[in-house]
């Protein structure tokens, strides 16, 4: 962002001159509203926003809805801003369809709306229906928010074109890293320790398959469950990517990372991943891993652990809570989190980092950017633990104070609440903004419980210590998290060939693992990948990367 600011300074004069020469038509969103002494807009100013229908997860009181509820009313009361939401589409695909209709003029674009795909972002910019906001960022974004965005400069890449910025990431933050989640009781029963490298990992999953770790006298268990759907890099749960990284370092499947010369290369063709494919083929042939991984999505693959069949999976710490029902299958089951295995040279293994969940874009006719940033900064109080939202958005809804103690478990509210209204679902974002979830758990473990997020984390150490410790482990190993360095719209050759290349990649990886093709097929895959568009794509990706750097 700091480099962006320098560029903006040189462009600002020109952009102001262009604006002066622009149309004098009255913009449809113009409202003669100003802040009073309390920082509240008078008269009330309306900002229209859009959300996916399936993100409308709030539980409303009788007579309330997405546009009439306590959070909307509080926003108007405190800021003099009325947030008016239109729900578009039932899922991500339908939502995109609605946005495309707006591009054709069949639908109205709201003032502010989230976009989740880089191609859609590019189409929005190309349409001329969204505005460049460089000047607005400089003038209106508070410094504390600029500091957050400075940490994640790559989140600006998809929304930049010709030196201008056409949106901002939705509350950028480094999502929690994945950890190794293991049946501790199986380790104890067999006198084993959690693995720390590939060799030890193999020994453990072999024992979990062949040595009756649950002691029921049956051969009904195996070592490791994962998902191979996509490109063997799920990024959240049932993820095998650490195993690939053990041999390829940062060049993990499905990710663009820098080589030693600073050029971007595609990880799936790295020689190190060949070694891991050979291992996975061996493990599959021996029955030590989930036999239907390639045809199973991440969530269902994780279910193998819940059913008491698999002893290890890799996922985000919250996944511990999702597999806790394993105790209904085996009352003696104990779950524990461990760090991921390391490379043989002692360096960490890597995994995909997510830093944003979409981008906010703005209607070209929207001229209340100061009001938007006032609102955006206000809802960020919940992340900083300041202002109106020290512990959460609204007492009696997402938190309560009982006998002087802040509580987040609605069953412990006074009175207890079931299906509470969720204020965080009635903002411009789909989720409550946060700054650093992993660090909040580390702070709580160290006894720092000042903000609502830290207090909530401390409560998890009481109610779900295995999960909470997982977050601390993830925080200790945050260097494992690496963002995909190519996150722009598909290049021209990508638009022609990428789907075919991805299909070829998935088939070759799967056929090698399943023993349908020899390991030498990997070498042929790399040759074909380059010849069938991959080499040209790599050139185009690096041309783009130079402009971003």
What pLDDT digit, counting tens, does each position of 396-430 carry?
A: 999 999 999 999 999 999 999 888 888 998 999 98
Alpha-carbon separation of residue 79 from 83, 362, 492 (angstroms): 11, 20, 45
The pLDDT value given to residue 54: 63
The pLDDT value given to residue 19: 35
Average of per-residue pLDDT across 59-82: 94
- Statement: residue 8 has pLDDT above 50: no
Q: How many residues does the chain have?
A: 549
245 vs 54 pLDDT, higher one = 245
The pLDDT value given to residue 58: 61
Average of per-residue pLDDT across 177-196: 98
- Statement: residue 10 has pLDDT above 50: no
Rounded Cα–Cα distance for residues 172 and 169 (Å)? 6
Give the lowest-confidence range in 87-91, 335-339, 451-455, 497-501.
Answer: 87-91
| Partner residues linked to 115 by β-bridges | 359
The pLDDT value given to residue 525: 98
Helix (H, G, I), strand (E, B) or coil at 163: coil
Cβ partners under 8 Å of residue 10, min gap 6: none
Residues 540/491, Cβ–Cβ less than 8 Å: yes
Cβ partners under 8 Å of residue 450, min gap 6: 385
- Statement: residue 27 has pLDDT above 50: no
Give the lowest-confidence range in 10-24, 77-91, 116-130, 177-191.
Answer: 10-24
Mean per-residue pLDDT of the chain: 92
pTM: 0.89
Q: Is residue 91 very low, low, confident or very high in pLDDT (cuts 50, 70, 90)?
A: confident
The pLDDT value given to residue 208: 98
DSSP alpha helix (H) spans, 107-220: 118-127, 134-140, 143-151, 184-190, 198-210
Q: Is residue 1 very low, low, confident or very high in pLDDT (cuts 50, 70, 90)?
A: low
The pLDDT value given to residue 53: 76
Query: Among 385, 519, 368, which residue's Cα sits nearest to residue 456?
Result: 385
The pLDDT value given to residue 528: 98
- Statement: residue 28 has pLDDT above 70: no
Alpha-carbon separation of residue 41 from 1, 37, 401 (angstroms): 29, 10, 31
Phi and psi torsions of 405, nearest 5°: -115, 135
Average of per-residue pLDDT across 506-521: 98
Give the lowest-confidence range in 51-55, 149-153, 356-360, 445-449.
Answer: 51-55
- Statement: residue 22 has pLDDT above 70: no
The pLDDT value given to residue 207: 98
The pLDDT value given to residue 23: 34
Give the lowest-confidence range in 82-91, 276-285, 385-394.
Answer: 82-91
Q: Is residue 359 very low, low, confident or very high in pLDDT (cuts 50, 70, 90)?
A: very high
483 vs 27 pLDDT, higher one = 483
């Amino acid at each position: 962002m700091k480099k962006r600011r320098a560029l903006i300074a040189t462009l600002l004069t020109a952009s102001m001159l262009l604006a002066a020469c622009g149309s004098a038509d009255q913009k449809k969103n113009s409202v003669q509203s100003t802040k009073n002494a309390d920082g509240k807009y008078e008269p009330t100013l309306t900002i229209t926003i859009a959300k996916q229908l399936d993100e409308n997860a709030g539980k409303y009181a009788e007579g309330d809805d997405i546009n009439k509820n306590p959070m909307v009313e509080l926003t108007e009361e405190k800021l003099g801003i009325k947030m008016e939401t239109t729900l578009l589409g039932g899922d991500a695909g339908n939502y995109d369809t609605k946005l495309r209709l707006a591009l054709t003029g069949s639908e109205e674009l709201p003032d502010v709306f989230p976009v989740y795909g880089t191609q859609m972002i590019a189409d929005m910019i190309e349409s001329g229906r969204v505005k460049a906001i460089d000047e607005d960022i400089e003038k209106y974004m508070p410094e504390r928010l600029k500091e957050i965005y400075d940490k994640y400069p790559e989140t600006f890449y998809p929304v930049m074109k010709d030196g201008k910025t056409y949106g901002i990431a939705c509350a950028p933050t480094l999502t929690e890293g994945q950890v190794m989640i293991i049946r501790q009781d199986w380790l104890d029963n067999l006198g084993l320790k959690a693995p720390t490298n590939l060799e030890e990992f193999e020994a453990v999953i072999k024992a979990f398959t062949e040595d009756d770790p649950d002691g029921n006298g049956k051969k009904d268990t195996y070592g490791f469950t994962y998902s191979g759907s996509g490109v063997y890099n799920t990024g959240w749960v049932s993820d095998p990517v650490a195993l690939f990284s053990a041999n390829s370092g940062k060049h993990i499947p499905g990710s663009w990372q820098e080589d030693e010369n600073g050029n971007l290369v595609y990880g799936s063709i790295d020689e190190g991943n060949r070694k891991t494919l050979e291992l996975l083929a061996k493990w599959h042939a021996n029955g030590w891993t989930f036999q239907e991984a390639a045809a199973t999505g991440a969530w269902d693959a994780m279910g193998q652990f819940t059913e008491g069949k698999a002893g290890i999976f890799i996922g985000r710490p919250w996944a511990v809570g999702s597999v806790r029902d394993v105790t209904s299958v085996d009352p003696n089951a104990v779950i524990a989190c461990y760090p991921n295995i390391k490379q043989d040279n002692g360096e960490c293994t890597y995994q995909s980092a997510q830093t944003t969940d979409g981008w906010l874009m703005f209607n070209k006719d929207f001229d209340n950017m100061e009001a938007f940033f006032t609102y955006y900064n206000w809802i960020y109080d919940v992340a900083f633990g300041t202002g109106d939202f020290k512990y959460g958005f609204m007492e009696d809804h997402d938190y309560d104070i009982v006998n002087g103690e802040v509580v987040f478990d609605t069953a412990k509210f006074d009175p207890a609440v079931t299906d509470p209204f969720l204020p965080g679902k009635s903002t411009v974002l789909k989720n409550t903004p946060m700054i650093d979830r992993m660090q909040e758990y580390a702070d709580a473990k160290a006894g720092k419980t000042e903000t609502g997020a830290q207090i909530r984390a401390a409560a998890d150490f009481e109610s779900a210590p295995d999960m909470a410790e997982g977050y601390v482990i993830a925080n200790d190993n945050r260097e494992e998290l690496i963002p995909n360095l190519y996150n722009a719209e598909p290049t021209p050759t990508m638009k022609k060939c990428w789907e075919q290349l991805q299909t070829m990649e998935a088939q070759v990886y799967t056929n090698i693992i399943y023993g349908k093709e020899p390991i030498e097929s990997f070498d042929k895959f790399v040759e074909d990948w380059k010849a069938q568009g991959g080499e040209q794509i790599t050139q185009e990706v690096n041309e783009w990367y130079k402009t971003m750097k």
